[in-house]
Amino acid sequence: MRPDDIPTGELVDRILVPFDGEGAGEAELTFGQLGLWQSMRPDLSRTVDYVAEPPPGTTVDDVVDMLAFMVGRHQSLRTTLVPRQDGRPPRQKVAARGEIPLLVVSAAGDDPAEVAESLSTHWQVVPFAYETEWPVRLGVVVAAGVVTHVVTVILHTSIDAFGFSALVADIGARDPSTGAPAGPVTGLPPLAQAAWEATPAGRKQNERSLRYLEKVLRTAPADVFGPPRYPGEPHYELVRYRSRALSLAIHAVAARERIDDSPALLTAFLVGAARVTGAHPMLTLMLVSNRFRPGYAGSVSALIKVTPFLLDLAGRTVGEAVVRAAGRALNAYKNAYYNAYEQDEVIERVESERGERFDLSCYYNDRRQGDRVHAGVPAPSAQEIRAALADSELSWRPEVGIPRTKIHLCVDDPPGAVELVLSADTRYLSRDDMAALARAVEEAAVQAALEPDTPTGISTDVPVEAVR
């Protein structure tokens, strides 16, 4: 199956769009790219995808212009991967110029929105040809001669969610009359990132992060989930839980504690997971954007990394847990920048010394794009928070490439709410457990906001197995 073998609609044109940009060369993969390359499966490339309804009047020529602009302007979007024969990860190669295809798909009487979603799903499941294919797949869906949707799927080693937001902002900042960019590219591209990572300063950051990793592993339980709770083969489900109350509650906690709301949400997840599964303390791999680093805020590239996090909830209140999480999370964020293959070496060494393997199967990804500080915004009242509980919505939706871990929580921020996107291995969490966990996160956040003296419920003297 190829990218051009579209599943629905009718392929009416394949336009080769020329691009020309500054900067070219070859380098090692960056720290961010290495971690994402490790996570690729032979049968499935990891991607960032987006289906948009463009402004009325948008033409195919407009999309051609946009594609040429964004690929020419950003090195990461004109990067291919150069394989090695010795088993090491590939190198990256940035081209200065070339041609990239744009597919024009007619809805052909079908629902244009369904055709667009079908094309997006198709592109997500067809693996990229890393050595020969550009990392951007772009298409337009037309109905009755009108462009209804623009479909974008980008290889994850070239961009992450925050990099995609930077790309959208850069495109939106163009002069509406001339199409000129708002200014020079300010975010460091991958070639510059790779160059810095090879400097003494970059190596020092890498070593500091690896020392933090080892310190966490020395005190972490190797396996808090234990054997499967339910029989059967590995199977993964995904549930979405959208909650206004959760959004309001973490805002209230942030205002009271004078912090951003991230630690409140993280604590609510850990408390909720401990209450539902008994897993405590739960070694959690947090995904960190790294956008706070100099030159990285507006970079159209892949910078996300995982960092281990461990929080002892035993004998504490939910309010105390939030305060404790705030300090520890900052340390975790600072140490989320390292070479993923050297990370593996640290893990293997500690496992060998301890004589047991770590269960690295719990992931937490707060990928919200909006403001988390709420500066100058009045905190919601207790009445508002409680009333919002009635609006919470739970839905089950299959997705391409569901993460194959025991617990994987992604957090999004649709308007006025927080959405938990929870996937799990059903041998460890049934569908009922997953729904209970989503609601338990909401409950813990509301308690942190309105009743911070509420105990976490984890005893200091009860073994984890007894809790389960």
Mean pLDDT of 121-129: 95
Please, which pLDDT band fits residue 462 given cuts at 50, 70 and 90?
very low
Tell whether the torsion through CA atoms of 93, 94, 96 and 98 is positive or negative: positive
Residue 29 pLDDT: 97
Spatial CA neighbour of 459 closest among 317, 314, 318, 324: 314
Cα separations in angstroms, 395 against 239, 243, 392, 422, 438: 6, 12, 10, 11, 11
Dihedral of CA atoms 221, 227, 229, 234 in degrees, nearest 10, equals 110
pLDDT above 60 (res 315): yes
SS3 26: strand
Strands 136-143 and 47-52: unpaired
Name, in order, each residue with C-beta under 8 angstroms of 222's C-beta and a sequence gap of 6 or more.
351, 354, 356, 357, 358, 359
The model's pLDDT over 395-425, given as tens digits with 9 standing for 90+, comes to 998 777 788 899 999 999 999 999 999 999 9
pLDDT above 90 (res 201): yes
DSSP letter string, 421-454: EEEEETTTS-HHHHHHHHHHHHHHHHHHHH-TTS
| Number of CB atoms found within 10 A of residue 144's CB | 9
**Rounded Cα distance, 264 and 321, in Å:** 9
Dihedral of CA atoms 384, 448, 162, 159 in degrees, nearest 10, equals -130
The model's pLDDT over 136-172, given as tens digits with 9 standing for 90+, comes to 999 999 999 999 999 999 999 999 999 999 999 999 9
Residue 468 pLDDT: 29
Mean pLDDT of 8-23: 96
Please state the pTM of the whole predicted model.
Answer: 0.91
Q: What token pair was written down for 73?
A: 């302007």
Residue 460 pLDDT: 61
SS3 262: helix
The model's pLDDT over 47-76, given as tens digits with 9 standing for 90+, comes to 999 999 999 999 999 999 999 999 999 999
Return the domain boundaries, the chain. Answer: 10-188, 199-467
One-letter amino acid identity for 169?
A: A
Residue 72 pLDDT: 97
Tell me phi and psi for residue 357, to 5 degrees. Answer: -95, 145
Mean pLDDT of 303-325: 95
Spatial CA neighbour of 320 closest among 443, 462, 458, 453: 453
**Rounded Cα distance, 412 and 420, in Å:** 7
pLDDT above 60 (res 326): yes
The reply to whether 10-188 and 199-467 are identical in fold is yes
pLDDT, averaged across the chain: 94
Share of residues in the chain with pLDDT > 70 (%) = 98
Residue 419 pLDDT: 98
Beta bridge partners of 143: 146
**Rounded Cα distance, 182 and 170, in Å:** 8
Please, which pLDDT band fits residue 87 given cuts at 50, 70 and 90?
confident
Determine the topology of domain 199-467 in CATH.
Answer: Chloramphenicol Acetyltransferase (3.30.559)
SS3 175: coil
Where in 70-120 does DSSP place strands (E)? 79-82, 91-94, 97-106
Burial of residue 154, with CB atoms counted within 10 A of its CB: 0-12 exposed, 13-18 middle, 19 or more buried: buried
Superfamily holding 10-188: Chloramphenicol acetyltransferase-like domain (3.30.559.10)
Name, in order, each residue with C-beta under 8 angstroms of 184's C-beta and a sequence gap of 6 or more.
none
What radius of gyration, in Å, describes the C-alpha atoms of the chain?
23
